Amino acid sequence: PSVDEELVREFYANFTSNELTEVFVRGIKVRISSKAINEFFELLDFEDDEYSSLMRIIEAENL
């Protein structure tokens, strides 16, 4: 496995609850957000993609 694959595996192994806002990866506390993950992997942050838009609608309906 590549380094990225190992990081992802460790992230998910430590991501034990969907209510967590942080998780430890290689001894470093990592914020759980799309922005934080995209920054780590040097990816663009797409806040207005179709999935995010749909999730905002669903969350608003559940309020």
The pLDDT tens digits for 13-51 are 999 998 899 999 999 998 888 888 788 788 887 766 788
What is the rounded (10 degree) CA torsion for 45, 29, 22, 54? 10
Q: What is the pLDDT of residue 47?
A: 66
Q: 3-class SS at 25? A: strand
* Domains in the chain, number: 1
Model pTM above 0.85: no
Q: Which domain holds residue 45?
A: 3-61
